[in-house]
Amino acid sequence: MTSNDKSKLSRIVNKVRAAQDEIAKQQAIIDAAMPDLEHAMIEADVRDYRTTLGHAYFKEQKGRATNKIDVRAYADAVDEDDFYDSVTVSVTKAKDYLPKKALDKITERIEPAPKPDKLVVEGVE
């Protein structure tokens, strides 16, 4: 690595770290202000408020629906091979019915596909 490379890399890393620090400071200000804003809006009985710089409002949060297939009806509706090909067993639920040793004997561990390394910039202690 040349001194030019070192200079360029140092400049970029330091720029990223400075930006990360600034983001952290700004996020701390936001995190501290949000409970105050929420309290003030509730106290003023306001659900939507606009200024020249921003718009604060309470956004409805919807849960996500879950589809649950009737296992017995599904098993009756498809071929046996297709049934076993398409059904998985919840490890969490299986632990309710079988001891760990019994589960370990019938469990196959499938490792995740490799991912490329992620570039990370952290502060120096």
Indicate whether 22 and 51 sit together in one domain.
yes
User: Is the Cβ–Cβ distance between 62 and 73 less than 8 Å?
Assistant: no
Inside any domain, residue 25 = yes
Indicate whether 23 and 45 sit together in one domain.
yes
pLDDT confidence of residue 124 = 85
The DSSP string of the chain is --HHHHHHHHHHHHHHHHHHHHHHHHHHHHHHHHHHHHHHHHHTT-SEEE-SS-EEEPPP-PPPP-----HHHHHHHS-HHHHHHH----HHHHHHHS-HHHHHHH----PPPP-PPPP------
**pLDDT greater than 90 at residue 122:** no
Inside any domain, residue 13 = yes
**pLDDT greater than 90 at residue 29:** yes
Indicate whether 7 and 38 sit together in one domain.
yes
Inside any domain, residue 64 = no
Inside any domain, residue 63 = no
What total number of domains does the chain contain?
2
Per-residue pLDDT reduced to its tens digit, 71-110: 999 999 999 999 999 999 999 999 999 999 999 999 999 9
Give the whole-angstrom CA distance, residue 9 versus residue 62.
45
Average pLDDT of the chain? 94
Q: What percent of the chain has pLDDT over 70?
A: 100
Give the whole-angstrom CA distance, residue 32 versus residue 23.
14
Residue with the bigger pLDDT between 28 and 118: it is: 28
Inside any domain, residue 91 = yes
Inside any domain, residue 125 = no
Inside any domain, residue 29 = yes
What pLDDT band is residue 55 in, cutting at 50, 70 and 90? very high
Q: What is the domain range of residue 92?
A: 71-106
Indicate whether 15 and 53 sit together in one domain.
yes
Inside any domain, residue 112 = no
